[in-house]
Structure 1
Amino acid sequence: MSNRTLAVKLEIQTLADAVATLVYRLIPISSGSYERFGDKNRMTPGLRKMWLAPVGKGRSLDLIAQDIKAYEQFSFLEEDFVIGAIIDFTESHDSSKSLETYLRTRLTEQQQERTAIERKLSKVAVDSEDIQCFVDHALAILPKPELQKEAQDFIKSPNLYFGPLLDVERCKEDLFDLPDDQQIKVVESILIATKNRPAYPMRSKPRKAKVTSLKKALGRKKPAPKKAASPYVDPDEAPIYYLKNRETQKLEIHSSQLQWQKLDVQQQTFIKRHCLFSRPKGAWISKATYDRATYLKSQLKEYGIPEAAPIGERTSYEERFDLKRERAENRSDRYAVKADKTRDEAYRSQNKAVDMLRVIPMGQPILVGHHSERGHRRLIQKSDDAMRRGVQGEKKADYYDQRAVSAQITADASQLKDKGYLMRRIKENQKTINTYQKKWKPGTFETRDGYLDAVEKLAFYQRKLAELAASGVVVVSKEVLKKAGATAVKFWDGWREIVRINEKSVTVTTGYSWTRTVPYDEIKDWRPKAEEKPAEKKPTKTPRKTKVSRLKKAVKKKPATPKLAMNSNGEYVALVPKKKSTAKAKAGRKASATVKKIKAVKVARTAKRKAVAAKVVKPAPKKATKPAQLKKQREAAAGKLKSKMSPVAVIKTGRQFNETYRSTRSQLMDNPHTHKKVLAPTAENLKKWAGKPGKYDLVGVDTGSQNVTIRKKKEGELDKTTKQFLKKS
């Protein structure tokens, strides 16, 4: 029997039956229309051959959808929905074999329905066609669950039933004019007839993933289409309405599947944007609170959705907070158990993958063409699948661990131990209360949930902050700083001096020309007056330059006195530095010296004028000196005089120099150690060492070693006298 003959025998009860009967048997689809509404990548050769007409022929999908909507049971469906159902059915039945399977299955189901009805009505004067007609009319106005419920209510008490079954349009005979026992049998047959009917004829099927390659589409076996799960749990309440839940302070939209489908696509999209669906409640829950969802409520009223009485009892913020912590604790335990279980399964799967390959010897290749090739490949594939399941299980266990940790953080409520968090929440809720009191008239906001929540949160966080302060945590406020007389505060930028104490913050210095404000929740500590550090002295302004100061600047400074000097005998002598005078004495001496110089200049000018006037210049008398002594003085001044100091004298002079010009710390660091450069105790080395005592060591002065590392060619070892002196000293 051909598919066309089977389609002729099929009764149109569902939307799929209409597509199989009308589209396949009578109205082929135009290919251009299918490309416009469907997916080009899923147009397989079988689909083109089965359902599409040649180019330029056939009917458009929107016209076919209108023909299907002409049937009474499909009149309430949207046109886009019908087009999507046609595309889904044709894609899932793109071969004659799959279509034949569907047609034979539906014919068998319809035959079984007729047989069951005829068995029940063997003693009742009602035809099975009347039952089928009644069911068709009933499903057009009632969903399947509601129809079954009404039938069960009728069977329980037929005399007291006044439900919607009595309003269903009859076909030939009135089924409810029969005796009570026969009416019950009729309704039981109605239950049997509706058993194999779809729950909602308008329910769509999920779209399949797009196929980019035509070869993949042809080579892949298409599974049977799965029915999309309805998001509604309780579709018994027919009207759609919204209400306020006092316990959660959210807006809830309750609706049945039928009423939901009657809404426009734009209305459904708007509700989905502002709400989230809750499966346990079977309703849409608003994202915002009831008081804040003003736009959502105004749009629902425009859609004609009525508002029902509120439900539940209002709970305090502390009760909601404790309930949230309790749920988080339970969620943490649940995820922890789930993570352990998933990780154990992952480890078992990995161990199984390893054990499966132990039967194969190490290095055993696949014997192509051998009878073991198929089993070998299958075993490797099974092992690989098990290992992949184990790896994915480990990743899933790690995810569950993260969820458990996150839930545990919520349950611990560690933010209640952070004074900054508590102070910010107090400030935020105080601001909300002030806003209500300023912008709302008295008597209009005291019962609003936003105001009541702000009052409860303010009291809750203030109590937690007081408990935190009692435990020893530093809590800063305007009264505390003023009472303690604080002069500096510590925050993330360190200690800063207080300029002004404000109502909500403290103005502090920055070290520059501007100031900054620090909120009280960022202050970690403060410093009272008693612990205030002494202020640094500001540099005084330099006085105006006087004639004396200019003269001081004009006078050339004397060169610094050398630390070592050579006398007329050719011996180096360590000069003892003069004692430093105080600042006042030094200033007085400078001033007196300047005055003396001014006077000397005046006297010299006067004497010069007198001498010029008298034209008599008397040369200063010179002291008589011997030529040899003068020669020695000149050589000593030029540094050309060779010293005749003994090593012992050099050592004594070096020690005197060490004690006079070097600090105790430098002596303690230098004397115990010996440098690589050790000098012999000679006059030239003494001068060299005195210039850089940290670079060299002088034997007998700042080293205990007698091994000279730097010496001249003619310079020998230390003499006996020097060695004896070093031993004694």
Structure 2
Amino acid sequence: MIEITHTHEDGTLVDGTDKGDGTAPILKTHGFRWFPSIKQWGIRNSRDQAARRLAINAAAEALRAAGHEVTVEIDDTPRDNATVRADKHERLEERRTGLAAKGQRLTAESAALHARSNAMVEHIPMGQPVLPGRRGQAHRNLLNRSIDTAIKGSQVARQAEAIPDRIAGSHRAEARRERPDVIKRRVDRMEAEVRGIDRRLARLAPGPSVVREQYEGDRATLLTRIEGDKELLEQARQEGQFGQYSRDNVHKHDLVRIRGQWRQVVRANAKTVSVTTGYSWTDKYGWEEVKGLRCAHVEDAEQATAETATD
């Protein structure tokens, strides 16, 4: 009995396969991959995504045609954003911990290789010449093994030295995903995907179908993610990290700080701001990209308020 299951917590997994039972080529053909860490077949990046029903059903039919008994169980209930984010953070921390441990192992391995390299030649006096021909062959072979071992130790050391940067990069990438401007662009992209799914659903023939179930699963997942990200944006707005700049308070010729640079406003639109580039064209950014404002209107208003208070 082979069971193909899908949940948003675990993704798409296959139970009941054995090595050499003929299932591997079939599953691989339909997009499944072997996960050594859990010793199961599954679909990559299927956790917290709608089930890929077409691939799952095609794999199940192919397995049945090959003589296997197969059951399929799909639970496409999306998890809330807080749970998804916490779960993803936990997995990232586990990977970072694993990387740190790997770095320690590589450092120890490098030290051992260099020690072994030195031990090979420590009994040879400094400056001892290598005799020509067969008389010096053993000496020459020993030197070559020592050099090869030292080179391998240096290669391993470079791998260990790269791991802290990989861990730091993982932290930066995770922090970037939580930035309000990145969240806003993600929401816009997902909302566009939902509109595309709605158009495709409208073109489908009436009645149930696997394609309709696939679209509806994708749509439900996207709506859950959008709702959670909008809650994060609202929290950032209340904390003053997002949403304080718009066409209501930004005017033509004002200066706005975008990606660390002050740029002059050419046009303030409903969802974007166009700024100068120093060339004949302009750049367009979403309002979530604006991190600062130098506005003569605001400065004049603040000055007038200050003078009134003084009077």
Q: Normalising to structure 1: TM-score of the pair?
A: 0.33
Aligned residue number for residue 33 of structure 2: 276
Does the 8 A contact of 1:357 with 1:379 survive in 2? yes
Q: Does 1:286 align with 2:43?
A: yes
Moved more, 417-426 or 354-363: 354-363
Separation in 2, partners of 1:400, 1:510 = 38
Separation in 2, partners of 1:514, 1:312 = 47
Does the 8 A contact of 2:96 with 2:167 survive in 1? yes
Aligned residue number for residue 250 of structure 1: 12
Does the 8 A contact of 1:245 with 1:312 survive in 2? yes
Q: Does 1:420 align with 2:186?
A: no
Separation in 2, partners of 1:358, 1:510 = 64
Does the 8 A contact of 2:4 with 2:12 survive in 1? no
Helix, strand or coil at the partner of 2:247: helix
Match of 1:456 among 202, 211, 224: 224
Helix, strand or coil at the partner of 1:308: strand
Does the 8 A contact of 2:3 with 2:15 survive in 1? yes
Q: Does 1:299 align with 2:67?
A: no
Matches within 5 A, 1:313-462: 315-367=79-131, 373=136, 376-377=139-140, 379-410=142-173, 413-416=174-177, 418-436=179-197, 440=201, 448-462=216-230
1:475/1:360 CA distance change after superposition, 3 Å:
same
Report deviation, 1:368: 5.8
Report deviation, 1:339: 1.3
Helix, strand or coil at the partner of 1:309: strand
Report deviation, 1:421: 0.6
Letter of the 1:279 partner, please give it: P
Q: Does 1:260 align with 2:22?
A: yes
Letter of the 1:285 partner, please give it: G
Match of 1:481 among 236, 247, 250: 247
Separation in 2, partners of 1:510, 1:330 = 43
1:334/1:302 CA distance change after superposition, 3 Å:
closer
Letter of the 1:338 partner, please give it: K
* Ranges in structure 1 where 5+ consecutive residues have no aligned partner: 1-238, 533-729
Helix, strand or coil at the partner of 1:361: coil
1:347/1:436 CA distance change after superposition, 3 Å:
same
- Cα deviations across residues 33-59 of structure 1 (Å, max 9, x unaligned)? xxxxxxxxxxxxxxxxxxxxxxxxxxx
Report deviation, 1:258: 5.1
Q: Does 1:505 align with 2:257?
A: no
Does the 8 A contact of 2:265 with 2:273 survive in 1? no
Separation in 2, partners of 1:256, 1:348 = 39
Separation in 2, partners of 1:408, 1:295 = 35
- Cα deviations across residues 454-503 of structure 1 (Å, max 9, x unaligned)? 233223322333343444435356xx432x374445246711243x532x
Separation in 2, partners of 1:331, 1:309 = 30
Does the 8 A contact of 1:254 with 1:284 survive in 2? no
Helix, strand or coil at the partner of 1:481: coil
User: Could you say which structure has the greater relative contact order, defined with CA pairs below 8 angstroms and 6 or more residues apart?
Assistant: 2
Report deviation, 1:424: 0.2
Moved more, 245-254 or 386-395: 245-254
* Ranges in structure 2 where 5+ consecutive residues have no aligned partner: 65-69, 203-207, 301-311
Does the 8 A contact of 2:117 with 2:150 survive in 1? yes
1:368/1:258 CA distance change after superposition, 3 Å:
closer
1:496/1:399 CA distance change after superposition, 3 Å:
closer
Report deviation, 1:248: 3.1
Matches within 5 A, 1:558-637: none
Match of 1:520 among 284, 287, 311: 287
Does the 8 A contact of 1:242 with 1:307 survive in 2? yes
- Cα deviations across residues 338-363 of structure 1 (Å, max 9, x unaligned)? 21332233134324433543432232
Helix, strand or coil at the partner of 1:277: strand
Helix, strand or coil at the partner of 1:359: coil
Helix, strand or coil at the partner of 1:496: strand
Letter of the 1:242 partner, please give it: I
Separation in 1, partners of 2:127, 2:283 = 75
Aligned residue number for residue 306 of structure 2: none
Report deviation, 1:314: 5.6
Does the 8 A contact of 2:78 with 2:221 survive in 1? no
Separation in 1, partners of 2:120, 2:140 = 12
Separation in 2, partners of 1:369, 1:429 = 72
Separation in 2, partners of 1:476, 1:452 = 31
Report deviation, 1:397: 1.5
1:531/1:359 CA distance change after superposition, 3 Å:
same
1:367/1:494 CA distance change after superposition, 3 Å:
closer
1:311/1:277 CA distance change after superposition, 3 Å:
farther
Match of 1:494 among 263, 266, 272: 263
Q: Normalising to structure 2: TM-score of the pair?
A: 0.68
Q: Does 1:308 align with 2:72?
A: yes
- Cα deviations across residues 617-649 of structure 1 (Å, max 9, x unaligned)? xxxxxxxxxxxxxxxxxxxxxxxxxxxxxxxxx
Helix, strand or coil at the partner of 1:353: helix
Separation in 2, partners of 1:350, 1:297 = 51
1:297/1:389 CA distance change after superposition, 3 Å:
closer
